Chains A and B, each alone.
Chain A
Amino acid sequence: MSKILLIFYGGSGLFEKKKGFVLVEKEKDISQWLGLVPEISLMAEVKTLFINKGREVLDQKNIKDIIRIIKENKEGVDGVIILNDPDTIPLLANQLFWQIQCPEQPIVITGSNIIEQDNEFLPDLSFKANLINAFQVVNSNLNEISVIYGNRVILPPKIVRTKLQDLNIFKSIDKDYLAKIDFGLSIKTREKEKKVPKYYNNFNYDFLFFNNVPSIENLKILLDKDNNLKIIVFKALPNQIIAREKLVNIFKLARKNKKLVIFYNQIGFGRDFFKDTILTISKISPECLSAKLAWILGQTKDEKKIRNLLKKDIQGEFLDL
């Protein structure tokens, strides 16, 4: 029987008609919670671990704890299942995708999607199925970091949330899935270079995403050279230059203060408007770009290296859109 490490990091809301919601909010809640899903003990020997997320939605220290725990337990378990709130699953999955590259065993993320509506909590009746299917994914030796929800198993760089509450709340940007739950678990073979597993503990979020281009006066504080902020990312619509002059001025100021400015959209640019100046990045999801930036800033501070790593397809993160 396989050994699976089940990490509780939010998203554990099970619903039973008689008992209502059963959540793991403390370590001692785990045994009662496991009692409600006896099926999983038939599928694997379960080792549990509780991470107290406190009031934070997604804490940097907690992510580092998860990486450390997975690294420490890699010899003793056949796979890892992480429970997390669906709101933060794309961010968590993408960060783990960058921090743990080419894992030796499956690392599957799922969670219970509880919605608050009219002062009432609506249960996620798919959660039990998601949990059982997550165990099936681990037992199938799909050695990837993946997210399972509904009948889809998704690779983190492709994940996008499309619905608030449904059978499937996530989809793959390019409709390509690692596996699907149909009659059973249908795994799609992914061509992957054989690489040595790597665990990176460091990452840092010294960057900002802007959905518009604020005035240079407002940005001056952020672009101050004594400020920790390293990178500013402006999201743009495809084929659209948003305040090009303003951007060039921002770029000049950023360059003077050794900051990096990125112009980004998911689909791609018709033309590279800012050749050799502002770095343009496309064909990558915002969550993945954010996680990649955090991973890069955890490895280097050198601007040239940052630029090279950002442009380089390291883990198949650039989408064929």
Chain B
Amino acid sequence: MWIKFSILMLVAVINVALSFIIWKRNKNKDKARLYFSLMCFSAGLWSISLGLMFLDVSIFFYTLSVKGNYIFSTCIFIFFMFFCSEFLYKVKNKILNYLALLLFLTTLPIIFTNFLFKKIYFYEGLLRYDPNLIMHLLYGFFFLLIFFYSYYILFLKYKNSQGINQSRILLIIIGTLISFIFGIYFDWVVLYVNQYHLFWIGPVFMIIMNSSVAYLLFKKENE
């Protein structure tokens, strides 16, 4: 348990540190960078909330961690969508605003109700929860909608770009896509194949996204 907890905390530290570096280097207040920084920060908090689920302090604390898990993962997708629309040049689209509003509205019932999980209980001395699978499925599809829409924007930008900008977009697509695919698999799909205990692996794949961005930020050039 402590190993899993430590791994998640390490992932959180990496994400929060990268978020801080991106924010600190954003002297020209570029919105795309700001959103990506917020996305990394959300990923850090998501990792922390998942890690805290291992601590078993109290049912109330556990409930907060589970809710945090949903809220911060929602934030990751919101900020990623905004990042995709702002990166290089701003894509003006009303769908974006509606999706953002809808996402914001869905976080409210997560905070104030327990509609995403059925019950919280002790199992072999550890706290666990049973998710409301139907709501969880709907929520996941909602995520996928935003996920596909964000990549649709990013792929269009990739197609219309040339030179250095094309390679930058490609690296971001690869880095984020791998992280998201594994994140979605381990934190959404596994619930339906009774492999719930693997939920902690999802955030670990965020390291791939972090690495691709860190490569862009810190790579040394041959002069």
Contact B25 A129 (CB under 8 A): no
A190 to B219, CA, bound (A): 22
Mark out the residues of chain A between 1 and 53 whose CB falls within 8 Å of any chain B CB in the assembled complex: 39-40, 42-43
Shortest B220–chain A CB gap in Å is 11
Chain B neighbourhood of A84, CB < 8 A: none
Known contacts A42-B90, A127-B163, A129-B165: does B219 contact A182 (CB below 8 Å)? yes
Known: A127-B162, A127-B163. 15 other contacts (CB 8 A): A40-B89, A42-B89, A42-B92, A125-B163, A129-B166, A136-B88, A140-B30, A142-B28, A167-B164, A182-B219, A183-B33, A183-B36, A183-B216, A184-B33, A186-B27
B136 CB to nearest chain A CB (Å): 34
CA distance A238 to B100 in the complex (A): 62
Do residues A187 and B165 form an inter-chain contact, with CB atoms below 8 A? no
B161 located at the interface, meaning its Cβ lies under 8 Å from any Cβ of chain A in the complex:
yes
| Contact A128-B163, Cβ < 8 Å, known A39-B88, A183-B216, A184-B32 | yes
Indicate if the CB atoms of B164 and A150 lie closer than 8 Å: yes
Closest to A128 in B: B162
A42 with B91, Cβ < 8 A, contacts A142-B28, A187-B28 known: yes
CB of B154 within 8 Å of the partner chain: no
Cross-chain contact of B217 among A40, A126, A183 (Cβ < 8 A): A183
Chain B residues contacting A129 (CB-CB under 8 Å) are 161-166
With most chain A CB atoms within 10 A of its CB, the pick from B26, B28, B213, B216 is B28
CB within 8 Å of B: which A177-207 residues: 181-187, 189
Within the complex, the shortest CB–CB distance from A131 to chain B, in Å, comes to: 9
List 30 A–B pairs whose Cβ atoms lie within 8 Å, in order of A's numbering: A39-B89, A40-B89, A42-B89, A42-B91, A42-B92, A43-B89, A43-B90, A125-B163, A126-B162, A126-B163, A127-B162, A127-B163, A128-B161, A129-B165, A132-B88, A132-B165, A133-B165, A136-B30, A142-B28, A167-B164, A168-B221, A171-B223, A182-B217, A182-B218, A183-B33, A183-B216, A184-B26, A184-B32, A184-B33, A187-B28
Q: What is the bound-complex CA distance between A132 and B160, given in angstroms? A: 11
Q: Which residues of chain A are near B162, meaning CB under 8 Å?
A: 125-129
Task: Tell me the nearest residue of chain A to B92, going by C-beta.
Answer: A42
* Shortest distance from the beta carbon of A127 to any chain B beta carbon, whole Å: 7
* Residues on A with beta carbons closer than 8 Å to the beta carbon of B216: 182-183
Residue-wise interface mask of A (144-172) relative to B, using a CB-CB cutoff of 8 A (1 in contact, 0 not): 00000011000000000000000110010
